[in-house]
Amino acid sequence: MPAKIRRFEKTYDPATGGYRGRLRSKPDFGSVEIEVGRLWYAMVMLLRPVRVLETGTYWGYSTSMIAAGLRDLGQDGIVTSIDPAESSHLWEGTALARHVRWICARSQDAAPTLKGTTFDMLVLDSDHHYRTIMEELIAFEPLLKPGGVILMHDTLFFDGVGAAVRQLRENPRFEVVTLDSPRTHGNPGWRSPGVTICRKLKRKGGALRFDESLADLFVGDPKMPALARRGKRAVNTMPASRHSETRAAPQSKG
């Protein structure tokens, strides 16, 4: 891994799952946990995608982990990452840069420019409102090849994303698994961000539909079990005692 990425990883604080730039500075929760970054790298190595589409670049930690997998596969793979926020990115000035294409735009605005492109993997981690994640799924899922995988972060903490996961789970075109991730925000009672791995089984047989009644859903009620784990076909449920400890939502970007 390039030294720049290793230096960034050294700022990781396992006690909270955030990154501390300076000693005693408040942790930043914008990037995925190191363990999730490693999982994204492992998923790339396992599934061997050539074209990956990511939404939500931030400082480019997850992008760099995906790019490192693409580099190690030796197939000239590219991760296209979309984010409207100007930032200095971790891959810049490293050997990973040739595997990254960054689009400075909202994912919804970039969608028309990607029409006709196909992807082997989608990694969705931008704004966590139901509206945004569903707009992304409706725009980008048709570009994903059958057999391709959608990786999502924050599917347990943010019910906006959890509602989208529930729709994927209830759709026969997808198989879905949701797992906890290690971030605690310093409060083990809070929901973890969570990751979801969703495999697209086939192209036809049930379009994803936007549910207007959920449009503004974001965190939801943090005292309730994560929405992604509720519903008649809920799987991977956690013990009730864990949920009853849940407290107010932290101010978190991810």
- Per CB under 6 A, residues contacting ligand SAM are 30-32, 55-59, 61-62, 82-85, 106-108, 125-127, 132, 253-254
Q: How far is the CB of 239 from ligand SAM (least distance, A)?
A: 28
Residues 233, 236, 241: CA angle, nearest 5 degrees:
110
- Residue closest to ligand SAM, measured at CB: 254
Nearest approach, Cβ of residue 140 and ligand SAM (Å) = 11
Please name which of 96, 32, 94 lies closest in space to residue 70, comparing C-alpha atoms. Answer: 96
For residue 97, report the phi and psi dihedrals to the nearest 5 degrees. -55, -35
Compare residues 57 and 155 and give the one whose CB is closer to ligand SAM.
Answer: 57
Three-class secondary structure of residue 58 per DSSP: coil
* Cβ atoms of residues 157 and 191 within 8 Å: yes
Q: CB neighbours of 22 closer than 8 A, spacing ≥ 6?
A: none
Nearer to ligand SAM, 46 or 85 (CB): 85
Q: Which is nearer to ligand SAM, 152 or 173 (CB)?
A: 152
The DSSP result for 192-213, as a single string, is: P--EEEEEE--SSS------GG
Tell me whether residue 30 or residue 189 sits nearer to ligand SAM (CB atom): 30
Cβ distance to ligand SAM smaller for residue 129 or 169:
129
SS3 56: coil
Q: Supply the minimum distance, in Å, between the C-beta of residue 139 and ligand SAM.
A: 11
Minimum separation from the CB atom of position 202 to ligand SAM (A): 27
Q: Give least dist CB 59 to ligand SAM, A.
A: 6
Tokens 């996961």 locate to: 165
